[in-house]
Structure 1
């Protein structure tokens, strides 16, 4: 049986049993923030925040998930005129910043 360990960043500060619950709560809070404070004229900005947060919290093992972040960051940068910080995050995986926790 292959054990897949998620929540690499949260498990640095929380026990394994609490990391999953904390990830779901943080993602729900992020979704509420996007729903409450998001700009209806720029929905890709809220989608970028939500998808980027989900990737940071859940730390999927598949690197192609970050392509969605790059596409949304390009939309956000084109709409706002300023570059986004999210593509830099998509170029690294949680395994790069905390290799012993995966």
Structure 2
């Protein structure tokens, strides 16, 4: 569980985790499907976690793979970004890693 923080630009707050992410490669999807029984096409890879951010405080690490956000499947980076941005700021969210 982590608390999403607000960023500020033009006085309009938005939610953010404080990570850089990328989509899984075809090979990574195949490997995960075989190893963990995860359906192909799910998950994004954490590339970097910024210090002092909600993700860092929640213990998210580079190399982690997020497969769900608030129990909704994460299929690609854009989907995760939309899920984060669509919710209110300063709230708890559940990540499945």
TM-score range, shorter chain: under 0.3
Higher strand share: 2
- TM-score, length of structure 2 as denominator length: 0.27
Q: Which has the higher contact order (CA 8 A, sep 6+)?
A: 2
The structure that has the greater radius of gyration is: 1
